[in-house]
Structure 1
Amino acid sequence: MSLANETGTDKSSSPDISLKHLVDSLINSGLGDAVKRACWHPSDIAAGQLVRQATDAILTANNEDTSFRMDIFVMPVILVVGAQKSTMLSTVIHDVNALKEVFESLGVLGHCRNFGLANCLTDHEALNQYPLESWRFASRYDESKSVATLDFPEYPIESSSRAETAHLRFLCGVALNPASAPSIFESAGDIGRWGMKFTETVSAQLSTPDCSVLALPRAPRPLIKSLEEGYWASREVGFQLFASNALNHARLKFGEPDVFIDSGAGDKVLTRLSSLFDDSFDRTYSFPVAPYESHNQVLANIDEFLREIGIQRYELKVAEGEQRFVNCEA
C-alpha cells in the first residue's frame, strides 16, 4: 500500500481514516521520511494537502483515556531585518517570561494548566529534519511516562547593510490542557488579540543598536502546517518588501515602472520592474514555487499585492509562452 494509492483528487478536502491509519503505521515503522516526501513532493497538489493534514492529525493525537492533552506547537515568525552594517543577529529570546506574560494576560491560553516556550528561534530545516517518530512520541501525554524533550538549536541571522530583508524562523512551545478544553491551536487562533504585543516584545529583545528587527508572528500550528504556512509567509513578505521598495524608488525618480511577470521560468515566478526612462533601474524578484503549490497560487498573491500598491497594469507570461497585459484597474 502506498500514500499515492490512498489519496486522490476526487476525495474530500479532509483526510479519511484509512489515510490516517497508513500515515500512523508508516511513522510507527520508522518510515517518517517517506511521509515527509509525500507531504512536500506529492504526486499531485490535492494529494499532498491530504497527506499533510493526515500527518498533523497523527502528530497531535493524544491518548483517549487520559484526562489531559499535550500539544507541541510551532509558531512561524517572519523577521524583517534592517542592518546598518554586516552583522550576525542572535535569535535567542533572553526574557521568555515576558513573552509568556503576553499570552497569559491576553487570555490566549484558555484553560491551559502548563505552558512553555523555547528560549530561541529555530529554522525551517531544523524542524523539517526532525524525526516524525520522535515528534509523535513527545507530543502524546501519558501520566505513566516521563515527558520527552524536543531540543532545537538557535539559528542566528546573517544580515548585511542593504535593503530590509525577510527571514523565516520558528518559535516552539508546549501546552498542557484538560482533554475537554480547547487546544492551544484553537485558543490562540485569533492573532489579532496578541499579535501586536508579541511583535513589540520579541522585536525589542532581538533588535540591536546596529540592527532593527520587526517580528511578525503567525498563529501556532501543528508541525507540518506551521512549516507550510511559514515558508509561504516568508516568501510573501519578501516579495512585498521588494515590490514596495522598488516601486517607491521608481516613483520618486521617474514615475511608474514597467512590470513584467514570468510564470514560465520553471519552479519560480519572476517579477521584473524596469523603465525605458532609466537604464540603471532593473530589479527582479524570484518567488519560488514549492512542489506542493501551483503557479496560479503564487500569481494570485502577486496580482493582489500589485493592485494594493497601485500598479495600473503589468505584462504576464504564462508557462505555455502566452504573453498578455493585465489591467489592474478593471
Structure 2
Amino acid sequence: MQANASLPDPRPFSGTATHPLHQLADALLGERNLGHLVAKEAALDAEIKRLLSQSDDAELLNALASAPSPASQRVLNERLRVNVAQAGADQAQQAVIFALPLVLVAGVRGKHVIAGKLPDVDAVRALLQQHGVIAADADVQLSAKLLDRDQLLAIQPSQLARWRDALQYASGGLPHDFKESPVQVDGDGVFLRFLVGVAMQKKDAAPAVQLNIAPGPWAMALTKLLGEQLKHDAMTLFPLPRAPQTWLAALDDGRVAQQEIRFQVFASNTLRKLREAGETPVAVLSCHEGAELRVTLGAEKNGEEWAGFIWPLGQLDRVEAIQQMMVDLLRECHHDDIRVLGEVLPQIKDNLPYFPLPTELPASATRH
C-alpha cells in the first residue's frame, strides 16, 4: 500500500495566459511583496468590475473557462465572487443576494413528486431568525420556491451585481420570474434544490444574514422542519440544508454537497450488495478525458459484478481533495482495497463508457 498514490488532473490546462485576466491573475499569484500584492489584486478587481459594468459576462466566463492553470482559475473565480457580492465603498446600503443549497435524499416505492414550493416558508425564516442565521430585525425576503441549479446558473454575474446596487428593499424579492422545480422521485435518489433570497445590508451594520455559517443546531432544526413540510407517507426523505451563501458560492457548494452524498449512497449500497453476494470488493479510482473522476466498485475475481460512479470535475474542484474524501469514506465502510490509476484514461472504450474493472488491472496496480 502506498500512501502517496495520487490521481492525475484530467483537465486540459494550457499553461499559457491567453487573456488579460489570465495575465493579471498570474501576476497576482506570482507576487510575494505585500504592498505589490494589494496593488495587483486591485488591478485584477478593476478589470473584473469593468467587464461586469459592461455586462460582458461572456468574456468573463470565457476567461475563467480558458484559465491556464488550476491556481489561475481558482483566483479568478474567487475575485469574481468578491466583486459580484461586494458593493462599492461609497454605498450606504446594498442588497445581499443569497442562496441556500438543499440536498434531498429521497426514497420511495414507485414514484412520487416532491412539490416545488414550501408550504410555509415563513416558518423557515422564523427558525433561521431564532438561531441567528438571519438577524431578528433584518429586511430579508426568502422565496418559498425550490429552484433547480440551472435556474441559478442562468442568472449572469452582471445581473447579480445590478440587483446588488439597484434593490432598495427586500420585501419584493428578486425581480425575476423563477419557476418552481418539483422533484421527480423514481425509486431513490439524491437531488439538489435551492432556496433563494435577498437581504438589505447597511454599511458597517451587523450582518443581516450570516453567510457560510458553520453547521450547528440551526441545521438540525431546519432538517427537521423541512422534513415535516415535504413529507409523504410513501416516501423516506432526508433534507440536508447547507448554509446560506452568496449566489455564485452556493452554486458550487450545492453541486459538491450533492456529489459527495451521491458517492456515499453509491459506495455503501454497492459494497453491501457485493458482500451479500459473497464477493470481495475492490475500488478502482481513475481520471478520464472530459474532466471526469470515476470510481469502479467491483468484485475482485468476477468481472460481471460491478457498478460505476462519475464525478464531473468543476472549475474549483481539487482532484486530490476529492480522492481523499472518497478514500476516507470507503475506509469508513470498512473497505481498504483501493487501487488508484495514475494516467488519464479515455471516456469511451469499445463503444461503452470506460470503467476499469478490478479483473482487468495488473497485479502491480498502485494501491492507496
> Which TM-score tier does this pair reach, normalised by the shorter chain?
0.7 to 0.9
Partner of 1:221: 245
CA–CA distance in structure 2, aligned partners of residues 182 and 310 of structure 1:
46
Which among 321, 324, 343 is matched to residue 319 of structure 1?
343
| Alignment gaps of 5+ in structure 1 | none
1:140 corresponds to 2:171: no
Which among 322, 333, 341 is matched to residue 298 of structure 1?
322
Instruction: Map Cα deviations across residues 307-326 of structure 1 (whole Å, 9 max, x no partner).
Output: 22221221211225796342
RMSD of aligned residue pairs (Cα, Å)? 2.9
Partner of 1:281: 305
Identity %: 20
Query: What is the TM-score of this pair, normalised by structure 1?
Result: 0.87
User: What is the one-letter code of the residue matched to 1:154?
Assistant: E
User: What is the one-letter code of the residue matched to 1:3?
Assistant: L
CA–CA distance in structure 2, aligned partners of residues 45 and 55 of structure 1:
15
Partner of 2:194: 170
After TM superposition, the structure 1 stretch with the greater mean CA deviation from structure 2, 241-250 or 251-260, is 251-260
CA–CA distance in structure 1, aligned partners of residues 67 and 208 of structure 2:
29
1:152 corresponds to 2:163: no
Partner of 2:22: 4
Instruction: Map Cα deviations across residues 24-69 of structure 1 (whole Å, 9 max, x no partner).
Output: 1111112112223334553322122222222222222235445444
| Alignment gaps of 5+ in structure 2 | 1-18, 346-361
Change (3 A) 1:131 1:260: closer
Change (3 A) 1:45 1:277: closer
The alpha carbon displacement at 1:240 in A equals 0.8
Partner of 1:192: 216
* Paired residues, number: 324
Change (3 A) 1:185 1:7: farther
Query: What is the TM-score of this pair, normalised by structure 2?
Result: 0.78
The alpha carbon displacement at 1:127 in A equals 1.0
Residues 1-330 of structure 1: matches in 2 within 5 Å? 2-8=20-26, 9-11=29-31, 16-40=41-65, 42-110=67-135, 112-140=137-165, 149-161=175-187, 164-184=188-208, 186=210, 189-254=213-278, 256-264=280-288, 266-276=290-300, 281-319=305-343, 324-327=365-368
Judge conservation of contact 1:184–1:220 (CA < 8 Å) in 2.
Answer: no
CA–CA distance in structure 1, aligned partners of residues 339 and 104 of structure 2:
31
Change (3 A) 1:201 1:238: same
User: What is the one-letter code of the residue matched to 1:149?
Assistant: P
Instruction: Map Cα deviations across residues 270-293 of structure 1 (whole Å, 9 max, x no partner).
Output: 211222576653111112222443
